[in-house]
């Protein structure tokens, strides 16, 4: 598995990048999307095959380091305002 994380200012930018990877470029594997405690939106890509660096550079998000634990990303849940 190839793992990459991108961070976006808006949820729409994150969703557009995920759609582009999945539908246009045929990236398969798992895509995890969530809002970080700082308010940005994070896309974790667990691709079954390598993703070209040139493709990653064309995406609007900022590449960030994934904090991992035995191959699984560790993240803090964002508290829900409805509870």
| 70 pLDDT more than 50 | no
Query: Looking at domain 2-73, does it have CATH number 3.40.50?
Result: no
> In the predicted model, what is the mean pLDDT of residues 5-27?
93
The residues spanned by each domain of the chain are 2-73
Nearest to 2 by CA among 40, 74, 36, 52: 52
What number of CA atoms fall less than 13 Å from residue 57's CA on the CB side?
3
Nearest to 36 by CA among 5, 58, 60: 5
- Residue 13 phi/psi, 5° resolution? -60, -40
Over residues 36-66, the pLDDT tens digits come to: 999 999 999 999 988 899 988 888 889 998 7
């Amino acid at each position: 598995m190839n793992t990459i994380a991108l961070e976006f200012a808006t949820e729409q930018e994150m969703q557009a990048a995920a759609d582009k990877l999945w539908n246009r470029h045929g990236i398969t594997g798992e895509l995890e999307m969530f809002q970080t405690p700082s308010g940005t939106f994070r896309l974790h890509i667990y691709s079954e095959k390598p993703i070209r660096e040139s493709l990653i550079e064309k995406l609007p998000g900022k590449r960030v380091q994934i904090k991992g634990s035995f191959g699984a990303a560790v993240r803090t849940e964002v508290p829900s305002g409805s509870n």
